[in-house]
Amino acid sequence: MSTVREFIDQSYRLISASNPYTPLRDGDLQLGIRVLNQLLSSYAATGLMITIANTVSVPIAAGQTEVTSGPATFLPLPDITEGRVANIEVAWLNLTGVDYPLIHVSKSEYLNSWKYEPLLGLPRYIVVFEETEITRIRLYPGASQGFTLFLRAKFQATALTSNSTINGLPGYYERFLLFAAAKDIALYKGRADAWTDKLEASYRESKDIMEAASEVNLAINGDRSSMLNGAWRVRSGV
């Protein structure tokens, strides 16, 4: 895996005809790192360009209604420290070997339907509230007993520094990021003319490959005949 310094140096070579043996100046390196971190953060907006989803689990205690996800450096420590959830593909609960799939509902649907403090029972729905550094995952109704929550999700990559390596990202991701970083760096360096049609074609080709490699955002389907405050509240509260 390339170090971040090597990666940024290679990105600069795409838009510069300078001697390849000329060392990268600190200002250029810091600009490249800033652009790279901005790209990784923007990819977390939809999760589409984060190609790898991980399956994580976290215990849910009786009475618990919320799980947080964020970086291990955030205080208080989130329940899930893989990073801020960018995209949840599927979620389910497990109790004594039995799986209970959760139905994903939008924030607006939840807030328009929710009117009372939820009963405790078997959680039926999952609602995602994105915040700046963490994501809050709401279970509805709250858990009446201990469960294990499983999520298959994509997580926002941690910020990179000059001493980092391009770790945690798949090897085939590197070529796309090289072109993506070089394209933005060219604009910030006033070298937009250095971004040629050939470079743009290579960038678009690598972007198409990345999107094809990305897992599709799967809808979490289930029986939606009962509304959030309907019959399921009674059944799950038993």
* Tokens (6 digits) for 168: 């945690």
Q: What pLDDT, on the 0 to 100 scale, is given for residue 236?
A: 47
Q: Where exactly are the structural domains of the chain?
A: 4-48+160-195, 54-156+217-236
Instruction: Provide the strand spans (E) within 18-134.
Output: 54-60, 66-69, 85-95, 98-101, 103-104, 120-121, 125-130
How high is the mean pLDDT of the chain?
85
Percent of the chain with pLDDT over 70: 84
Question: If you average pLDDT over residues 52-62, what whole number do you get?
Answer: 94
pTM above 0.75, yes or no: yes
Q: Which tens digit of pLDDT belongs to each residue from 161-181? A: 888 888 778 888 889 999 999
Separation between Cα atoms, residue 120 and residue 63, nearest integer Å = 7
Q: Which DSSP category does 3 fall into?
A: B
User: Which residues are within 8 A (CB) of 191 and not within 5 positions of it... i.e. 6 or more apart?
Assistant: 15, 16, 185
How far is residue 50's CA from residue 149's CA, in Å, rounded to a whole number?
22
Q: Provide the pLDDT for residue 238.
A: 37
